[in-house]
Amino acid sequence: MASPGAPANMPMDPRHSSRLSLHQRFYVLEVLIGLGLTAQHFFVNLWRHTLHTVFGVKSARGAVTIQYPDERRPYALRLRSLHRLVRREDGSPRCVACMMCETVCPAHCIYIVATEHPNPEIEKVPERFDIDLGKCVFCGYCVEACPEDAIRMDTGILEFSSFSRKGMIYTKEALLALEPSHPGGAPTSPVPIPADRTLV
């Protein structure tokens, strides 16, 4: 802002001029330089994509486009993807229904009902373990809070959807059926499809 006694177009720093030349006022040269740069990137990437897809030259890659779902970006090992429940050697869930994950969940999307375990050495087991993925924020607090390492977010599954809210609730059986991902992050389990999903 100019000082009170200075003219309106007077710059704050007297070393810099506030007067623009004619071509600077209309930005014609700057617009043409920007259009040329954009066109150069467009045609270079168009040529590279044409070589890659039409002529099969695998070394010629476009800028950043990955041809999803045929090609997938490798995921980081720490990526938090769809939850899974870890099984014991006998196939039962490792979860002891301590309610730690349900308590720590900021979205309140985990619902557990405990029951007695048939093995007297194990106190409880979840009769019901539901996760509402429509509410889940994928913070990973449930994984960190679990003292038994019974819940993990390492399936690599990121593509899950449903046409209803009920379809986003994953039950104990669905979570136990999932497996950990490959080292590159690709899922080993098929994407679980809710029973209510129908094609319209």
Pairing of strands 124-132, 169-170: antiparallel
Model pLDDT, residue 141? 96
Q: What residue ranges of the chain have pLDDT lower than 70?
A: 1-18, 61-65, 193-200
In sequence order, what are the residues at sequence separation of 6 or more whose Cβ sits closer than 8 angstroms to the Cβ of residue 64?
none
Q: Provide the 3-class DSSP secondary structure of residue 151.
A: strand
Six-digit token string for 111: 């619902």
Helices in the chain by DSSP H: which ranges? 22-26, 28-53, 100-104, 141-145, 172-176
Instruction: Provide the whole-model pTM.
Output: 0.66
d(CA 130, CA 23): 66
Query: Domains in the chain, start-ordered, CATH in brackets?
Result: 20-73 (no CATH), 84-176 (3.30.70.3270)
Model pLDDT, residue 85? 95
Model pLDDT, residue 148? 93
Model pLDDT, residue 103? 96
- Are the beta carbons of 194 and 167 closer than 8 angstroms? yes
d(CA 131, CA 101): 11
Six-digit token string for 57: 């030259």
